[in-house]
Amino acid sequence: MRLLYNLSFIIFGIVYLPYLVVTKRYRHGLLERLGILPERIKSLSSKGKIIWIHAVSMGEMKAASILAPLLRKTFPRHTILFSSVTYTGNKIARIIATGEEGVFYLPYDVSFIVNRVIETIKPELFLCLETELWPNLISLLHGSGAKMVLVNGRISNKSYFGYRKIKFTVSGILQKFSLILMQSEQDAARILSLGAPKEKVRVTGNLKFDLSLLGSMAGRKELRGKLGLQDSDILLVAGSTHRGEDELILESYSRLIKEYRNLRFLIAPRHVERTQEIEQLLIKHGFKPARFSSLQPLAHAPYPNEVSGSGFSPCPVPERSEWFGVQPVFILDTIGNLKTIYTAADIVFIGGSLVKKGGQNPIEPASLGRAVVIGKFTFNFQDVVKSFLEDQACIQVGDKEELCSAIRLLIIDPQERKRLGLNAKAVVENNSGSSQRTIELIKSLF
């Protein structure tokens, strides 16, 4: 069975390689993906006990940023290593990691490649964020004697139907975990139905509700000043947008700016490599793009222990006179700064929800007390969104017409904007505590 899986993975990789070359996806860390770790990781691994945290991408790595300080406090004699699959996840991990910790890309899930990495790292504890079920990785870690914990687990509708088709394989993988910590009762029920041992499954809540514990990362007044905003300006931020909805959001903004001249707009594409594409779209609609990276350096720390020298490129903020007659629209073209941007916002639209991408997480802007608007496609975070809707803590819209109406309401009614933000912040505070529950359960393994 393992031989067949390895062979299938290798064949898929060969077929998929031209696509990776053309799109430049996963061009970073190729040697690490092939199991050839840098000397730094080898050196750290040789010094003592290792906690290996794996988070596939940026969103999952943000959850790891909440857990990491608690792990350092609880296991002071251990060294933490972070792995990710994507470049954005790797970059966030490098911000989170201290000088005595390491970051690398997850090796391809081929047994001889994975085994080489495990023999080098020899982790005592492996923490897998959300639901990353790599058969060879999990099996070989189990064989090495490492304790494994699935942390902040969730199973979307799409993943659930996919896992059910290979339930026999999934069940065998789940049996190998020491603990399986799920975000909600529904997630727990799903993973139990896939064969997870009942005695190992716990519901700990969503770690991302604890993002509020990190606090605001930049002064609102300072950041708005760097964006050239007046006190009377209302900043609309569209966070983590996807192709197909940028146009819809921009059409709504184009209509609203004619009615409300103090409305300002910043768009943060989910993938920063789409920045040039967004610029062309803005020009098409008659707006002047303004990349965030071209603004003055911002004293910021998106996550604990960010290395110095990672601020934005020095460049004076253009005076409004330079933009006369051409409405500027800001583009967030840097990684790891979206929560910082939310501090300056008045209204936040959650991307990936006007198109069938499943939506992004509304917790970050909600934790800052921002008025949140979200589309109808929220299957990636359905339990979180349900909590917000039940407590009247966000506005859900079905299309661009409803989006336009919702934003208009929040522009003309500052009290409603404030009420929505306070409700959103309360939802986050009422659901926090997952990180402490998680760390206590991990401690119980030792």
| CATH number of the domain enclosing 177 | 3.40.50.11720
Note whether 245 and 187 are same-domain residues.
no
Q: At 206, list the tokens.
A: 């969503």
Q: 255 pLDDT band (50/70/90 cuts)?
A: very high
Range of the domain at 330: 213-430
Helix (H, G, I), strand (E, B) or coil at 24: coil
Note whether 201 and 277 are same-domain residues.
no
Note whether 385 and 412 are same-domain residues.
yes
Q: 213 pLDDT band (50/70/90 cuts)?
A: low
Note whether 288 and 347 are same-domain residues.
yes
Q: Is 117 a residue whose pLDDT tops 80? A: yes
Note whether 221 and 160 are same-domain residues.
no
Note whether 232 and 185 are same-domain residues.
no
Q: 300 pLDDT band (50/70/90 cuts)?
A: very low
Note whether 271 and 389 are same-domain residues.
yes
- Write out the DSSP string of 211-271: GGGG--SS-HHHHHHHTT--TT-EEEEEEEE-TTTHHHHHHHHHHHHHH-TTEEEEEEESS
Q: How far apart (Å, rounded) are the C-alpha atoms in residues 382 and 248?
A: 22
| CATH number of the domain enclosing 260 | 3.40.50.2000
Q: 303 pLDDT band (50/70/90 cuts)?
A: very low
Note whether 254 and 190 are same-domain residues.
no
Note whether 222 and 180 are same-domain residues.
no
Q: Is 259 marked active-site?
A: no
Helix (H, G, I), strand (E, B) or coil at 61: helix
- What is the model's pLDDT at position 45? 96
Domain count, the chain: 2
65-113 pLDDT, tens per residue?
999 999 999 999 999 999 999 988 999 999 999 999 999 999 999 999 9
Q: Which of 32, 60, 130, 364 is catalytic?
A: 60
